[in-house]
Amino acid sequence: MDNSIKEGYIKFDKTELRGKLEYTGIRYHMTSFKLKGDNYEYIVSPYTDNDGHIFNTFAKPGDSIIKATYSAKLTLKKGVKIYEFTFRNLLKD
């Protein structure tokens, strides 16, 4: 695995996230996203949520992101609706 992907996942895993989404995209064939006011671009490999939503096409700028430190679950808030995504552990898979 490329070191930048591994480092990016470690940063994502150990960081508590709480903020508004600035953008989503694709980097290294995975999902990337950045929160407003955060200088870091996170690179992850999310699974679809229970409704089949794909994170990088469903999440939009301005949506709220919440993730606890070392949690495999990320909460995406779109207005009053809440969606939960889990992520592939890039250090184990």
Residues 34-54: pLDDT tens digits?
999 999 988 888 888 888 999
The tokens for 53 are 């939503």
Per-residue confidence (pLDDT) for residue 93, from 0 to 100: 57
Query: What ranges do the domains of the chain cover?
Result: 3-86
Give this prediction's pTM.
Answer: 0.85
Helices (H), 15-74: 55-58
How far is 41 from 48, CA to CA, in rounded Å?
20
Please give the mean pLDDT across all residues of the chain. Answer: 90
> What single-letter amino acid sits at 55?
F
The mean pLDDT of 64-80, rounded to a whole number, is: 94
pLDDT at 2 over 60: yes
**High-pLDDT (> 70) share of the chain, %:** 98
CA diameter of the chain: 38
Q: Percentage helix, strand, coil, to 5, in the chain?
A: 15, 40, 40
Give the start-end residues of each E strand in the chain.
17-27, 30-35, 41-44, 64-67, 73-78, 81-86
pLDDT confidence band for 7 (50 / 70 / 90): confident
Per-residue confidence (pLDDT) for residue 89, from 0 to 100: 83
